[in-house]
Homo-oligomer: A and B are copies of this chain.
């Protein structure tokens, strides 16, 4: 896949491609993060110029449909070759990777490595790489699949509650199957599921082709929305700074039915697995929490005049009685990804049993830097040595201070609070060591990064053991 940059709706394209070459972005741009998640090679080169179906990279030109080969070594310069180079598929067994993972794991004590996995396939891969549970299952990625995005759009564009519920019921079936698959693969281990985080406009058609395709879809569903009606709805969802907008638990406050659907899907999957004697430990994670009131509402509900907001515990209880299911052990917790949440962690821990540090967003808000826009001025910052590496790869000292502060404050309220870090930072050995020193319980990273993180943990444990011996 060759493109200027990638967006949420390109996840499928990255999944089916062998490698990704983009002109804009960096280590933590969308294309890089998703490619890493899928174990694809990914290269960002500002020299890439795309015009229509032709592209150039310096003096090297190629067209749509032509093959290129991209080589991105762990150390040293990356290279792009014309044509299909001969490749050797690595074999984890004969290469000694599996032995190396087993050896690393033998040094582990209380600190673990989980994985970021959105599909049973990812979870299975991560498990073979030594992951101890899922630290981050991003539920929005599940909606971008071809057959689902239009149902999700139906839900967003529905005119009344009934119509909306119909779309939600369809989505629930799909999500239930995802959760069932992931929890089955991870039998006996924790699976942390993050409820919807993305702003709603990310799900809308982004160009004329997508719009036309969606209108075609609506024609098949008895619902006819004109192009201008759909465009008006899309415009209404526009935001000036989507990173700081109507997203995460803020969506759940306005539209409780979306999280309710996700919660039902999680428990229906969990109940079914329990009847099959498979041990499940779902952990339901609420994103973009800024204060305890939000988490309290979403977890435990609230009755106000005229409205009864159902919390996760209410939904679970009603569903369990309705299905005559047996209880499953579960936890409700929260992402800590805003400075306000880190500072207010003591209060938030009253209503959450675990914290997961979402360090991408925490870095963006703490430093006031959008990771997508940062690439425009990062070269100048590097030139004048104003920043110590890329803060989206190596944790910034101020972000570290907030993580330590939140862990301390949270544990004062709830001494057994489980704390972990999820996101791209978790794969960086320097960050892993910080997480251990800060008293966290685990890091969670993409499946292909799990062995790297395990090695970092093992090295730190060996260092600690040596110090204690002296």
Given contacts A386-B291, A386-B294, A387-B291, contact A245 B343 (CB under 8 A): no
User: Could you tell me how many residues of chain A have their Cβ less than 8 Å away from some Cβ of chain B?
Assistant: 52
What 1/0 flags go to A353-387 for Cβ under 8 Å of B? Answer: 00000000100111111101100110011011111
CB < 8 Å neighbour of A250 from B344, B377, B396: B377
Chain B min CB distance to A460 (Å): 25
Which residue of B243, B340, B399 is within 8 Å of A367 (Cβ)? Answer: B340
Known: A343-B401, A380-B253. A240 touches B367 (CB 8 A): no
Residues of B within 8 A of A288 (CB): 368
Q: Decide if B243 touches A387 in the complex (CB within 8 Å).
A: no
**Chain B contacts for A246, CB-based, 8 A:** 373, 376-377
Cβ–Cβ contact B254 & A380, under 8 A = yes
Which residue in chain B gives the minimum CB-CB distance to A252?
B380
How close is A378's CB to chain B, nearest CB, in angstroms? 10
A369 CA / B372 CA spacing, docked (Å): 18
CB distance from A379 to the nearest CB of B (A): 9
Whether B290 and A343, one on each chain, are in contact in the complex, defined by CB atoms closer than 8 angstroms, is no
* A270 contacts chain B at the CB level, 8 A cutoff: no
Given A339-B402, A340-B398, A381-B253: A364 in contact with B244 (beta carbons within 8 A): yes
Distance between Cα atoms of A364 and B381 in the complex (Å): 24
- Our pick among B338, B383, B398 for the contact of A343 (Cβ within 8 Å) is B398
Report 7 cross-chain contacts, Cβ distance below 8 Å, ordered by A residue: A240-B243, A241-B370, A241-B372, A246-B373, A253-B386, A293-B386, A297-B384
Q: Could you tell me which A residues sit within 8 Å of B by CB distance?
A: 239-246, 250, 253-254, 288, 290-291, 293-294, 297, 302, 304, 307, 309, 337-340, 343-344, 361, 364-370, 372-373, 376-377, 380-381, 383-387, 396-399, 401-402
